[in-house]
Each structure stands twice: as structure tokens, then as C-alpha cells.
Amino acid sequence: MTAPTTLSQDELKTLVGQAALHYVVPGEIVGVGTGSTVNKFIDALATIKDSIRGAVSSSEASTARLQALGIPVFDANEVERLSVYIDGADEIDGAGYMVKGGGAALTREKIVAALAERFVCIADESKLVPALGAFPLPVEVIPMAAAQIVRRFAAMGGQATLRCKDGQPLVTDNGQHILDVRGLSIAEPLAFESQVNQWPGVVTVGVFAHQKAHVCLLGTAQGVRTLQF
């Protein structure tokens, strides 16, 4: 597929959202992520909704959009496996490791991704990076543990701040808080994810290494580039 060089970031998102339909298995339930790129995918999915059973959603926001478009949404507990999970990313590297959670949906995203045989990441080309770490790393935390987790990140050179919305700590779909951590170098994503996951009070760290992408549909000025990992 070719695209003129004048496509905006929004148009690139539309392009990859539509390209992701190719990975949806007819007659099945599809795993659906969260974010502005996924919103394009959901809109595209609505055009083939009669050929699928429905979706498992990773956020209240995606659930609302899916349902508004007439796509049935199943609880994750009703599903044993999914062929495919389609989601965006804040960063993705050349191995398919990602940073996610810019939209605060990282925990449910990881849960739904873990049900899927294949993770298809959809992103515009600004998300492809040589190494993870430039985007502030989202970490969902239990509020009473926030200060000690901030100190643990400081000890490894990171500056963690509490994400706020309208002057108040942002509350996730799970009733928890988000820390955004700047200044980290995530040279070994698998080891980093395992390490931070063990800290008491961490609900989910936004490094997706154990649930990495298998495919990335990257929107570029030249069209959709497919990366396989």
C-alpha cells in the first residue's frame, strides 16, 4: 500500500488501524487495546462487525467506543484465548519490546495481551525507537506504595512523578495511580520488567517485554511497513 508524503500523524493512524483488519480472524473474538490509534482500529472493526463474535476490551474508554458502534464486548474472564490482540504503543524497538500506558490503560492491556497468541502493534513511525526510555515510563501503583516506589526509581537514576488530571492524582480504571518515570535507560527490557514487577505496590510496569509485539504495522510516509519480530 502506498501513501502520499503529506499524510498527517492522524491519517497514518487511520492507515494502520485499517491495515490491522487483515489480522482479525472471522468468527472469533478480538482483543482490543486503548488509545488514539486503537480508536481508528475500532472504527475500522465496526465495518466488519457482522463477521466477528465481538471483542475483549482493555479499558472503559475502548469498551464505550466498541459498544457505541454495536460491537459486543466480552469480559476477559469469559475467554480462554484470543488469536490476536491489537494495540498501540508509546514506543516500540526493533525487537518488538514496547513502552505503553500513556493512556493509563497498561494493566488491562497487559492482561488482555496475555490471553492472545499474537500481539499486533499499530503505530505511526514516530513510535519506532532504537532503544526504550525516551518516553516517560508509566507504572500503575497502589497509592500507599507510591513514595517508596519513587525512591526505588531514584536509586536507579529515574525521576518518578505522580500523574495528575484536573489537579488531582489520575485514578485508573482499576482505582489506582500512575507514576511517570523519566531519565531511565531500559537496556534490557525483559530483566527490567521482571525487576520492577517484584516491587511491593507495583501493579503493572509499562514495559511490555514478556508480552511483546509479534508484528508491528508502522504507518510511514511510504505506506504501512510490516515489521515481524
For residues 208 and 113, give the distance between their C-alpha atoms in angstroms, rounded to a whole number: 10
Residue 18: CB minimum distance to ligand R5P, A: 14
The nearest distance, CB 85 to ligand R5P, in angstroms, is 11
Strands (E), 76-214: 82-87, 91-92, 98-99, 116-124, 137-141, 159-162, 164-165, 168-169, 177-182, 202-205, 207-208
Angstrom distance (rounded) from CA 105 to CA 73: 17
Site mask for ligand R5P (CB under 6 A), range 115-154, x = bound: ----------------------------------------
**Among residues 15, 42, 79, 106, which is the contact residue for ligand R5P, using CB under 6 A?**
106
Say if CB 142 and CB 203 are below 8 A apart.
Answer: yes
Instruction: Report the C-alpha gap between 180 and 8 in whole angstroms.
Output: 27
100 lies in the binding site for ligand R5P (CB under 6 A): yes
Binding status of residue 33 toward ligand R5P by CB under 6 A? yes
Q: Select from 32-40, 143-151, 153-161, 195-203 the region that touches ligand R5P (CB under 6 A).
A: 32-40
Sheet of 137-141, strands arranged across:
159-162, 177-182, 137-141, 202-205
Q: Which of 54, 96, 101, 158 binds ligand R5P (CB under 6 A)?
A: 101
Contact pick of 15, 55, 82, 89 for ligand R5P (by CB under 6 A): 89
**Binds ligand R5P (CB under 6 A): choice among 36, 67, 83, 220:** 36
For ligand R5P, which residue of 102, 136, 189, 219 counts as binding (CB under 6 A)? 102
Q: Does residue number 90 form part of the binding site for ligand R5P (CB under 6 A)?
A: yes
Asked if residue 63 belongs to a known ligand binding site, the reply is no
User: Which DSSP state fits 171?
Assistant: -
CA 36 – CA 123 distance, rounded (Å):
10
Alpha-carbon distance of 225 to 229, in angstroms, equals 13
Binding residues for substrate, by number, are: 34-37, 87-90, 100-103, 127
Chain residues binding ligand R5P by CB under 6 A are 33-37, 87-90, 100-106, 109
